[in-house]
């Protein structure tokens, strides 16, 4: 099983400061973007995973999610301290909680696979975070917090009124996905513990200002 052997290795930065204030604004959707994306989600493909939509419309995934209705997506700027706070809340979802993990290479959708929630492990350096799923036998993640420019919580309606695509997504300064935690996808079965944890993390994001307001 790929989740048993795959290691996510993301490039490291030498600097430790938070991301600058201008870059996230550059990925915010225009009013025209918002109309197109909201029409697609509302009329054509409700609950669609954003990586596929980004490829379809040839725009960074962060631009896609910033175009969504405010009730369906909330994004904030990140820095090292806030990333740590958010990932601690993810740890609290529970080590045995089932989710899906999506990560990309060069902004393109490369892998989507089932996993348990990666848990933070101690590290000898402050530069990156090490996360291990399944008590070390599952996916290993190495994320550099200062590369995370935006964090978004998505709750996208699907064709069924009581079903949602729920995602906690981490984006870089170019608006490309670093890693997405898929709590539920469209109408597929999901782990209620993941939904409960996601709601708590979404509330945490709500204590910080939204970075984009769709047109």
In sequence order, the 6+-apart residues with CB closer than 8 A to the CB of 105 are none
pLDDT at 184 over 80: yes
CA geometry: angle at 191 spanning 113 and 147, to 5°? 50
Judged against a pLDDT cut of 60, whether residue 193 lies above it is answered with yes
- Per the CATH hierarchy, to which homologous superfamily does domain 2-9+71-205 belong? HemS/ChuS/ChuX like domains (3.40.1570.10)
- Which 3 state secondary structure label does DSSP give 20? coil
pTM of the model: 0.87
Q: At what angle do helices 50-57 and 31-39 cross, to 10 degrees?
A: 120
pLDDT of the residue at 215: 57
pLDDT tens sequence across 110-123? 688 899 999 998 66
Is the predicted pLDDT of residue 141 greater than 90, yes or no? Answer: no
Where is average pLDDT lowest: 18-27, 104-113, 164-173? 18-27
Q: What is the mean pLDDT of residues 123-146?
A: 84
Using the Cα atoms of residue 63, residue 64, residue 67 and residue 73 in order, give the sign of their dihedral. Answer: negative
Q: Using one digit for the tens of pLDDT, what is the confidence trace for 43-90?
A: 999 999 999 999 999 999 999 999 999 999 999 999 999 999 999 999
CA dihedral 107, 109, 110, 111 (to 10 degrees): 130
Query: Domain segments of the chain: what residues?
Result: 2-9+71-205
**13 neighbors 146 (Cβ within 8 angstroms):** yes
pLDDT in tens, 197-207: 999 999 999 99
Q: With 70 as the cut, is the pLDDT of residue 194 above it? A: yes
Instruction: Please give the Cα distance from 157 to 91 (Å, whole number).
Output: 26
Q: What is the pLDDT of residue 199?
A: 98
Quote the mean pLDDT of the chain.
86
């Amino acid at each position: 099983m790929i989740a048993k052997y795959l290691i996510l290795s993301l490039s490291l930065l030498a600097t430790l400061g938070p991301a600058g204030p201008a870059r996230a604004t550059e990925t915010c959707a225009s009013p025209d973007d918002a109309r197109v994306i909201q029409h697609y989600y509302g009329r054509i493909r409700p609950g669609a995973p954003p990586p596929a939509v980004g490829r379809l419309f040839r725009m960074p995934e962060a631009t896609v999610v910033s175009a969504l209705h405010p009730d369906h997506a909330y994004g904030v700027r990140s820095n090292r301290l806030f990333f740590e706070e958010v990932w601690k809340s993810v740890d609290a979802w529970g080590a045995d909680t089932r989710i899906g993990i999506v990560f990309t290479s060069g902004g393109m959708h490369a892998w989507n696979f089932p996993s348990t929630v990666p848990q933070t492990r101690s590290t000898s350096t402050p530069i990156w975070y090490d996360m291990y799923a399944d008590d070390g036998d599952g996916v290993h993640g190495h994320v550099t917090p200062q590369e995370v420019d935006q964090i978004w919580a998505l709750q996208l309606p699907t064709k069924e009124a009581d079903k949602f695509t729920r995602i906690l997504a981490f984006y870089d300064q170019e608006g490309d996905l670093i890693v997405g935690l898929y709590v539920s996808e469209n109408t597929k079965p999901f782990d209620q513990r993941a939904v409960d944890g996601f709601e708590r993390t979404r509330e945490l994001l709500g204590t910080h200002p939204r970075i984009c307001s769709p047109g």
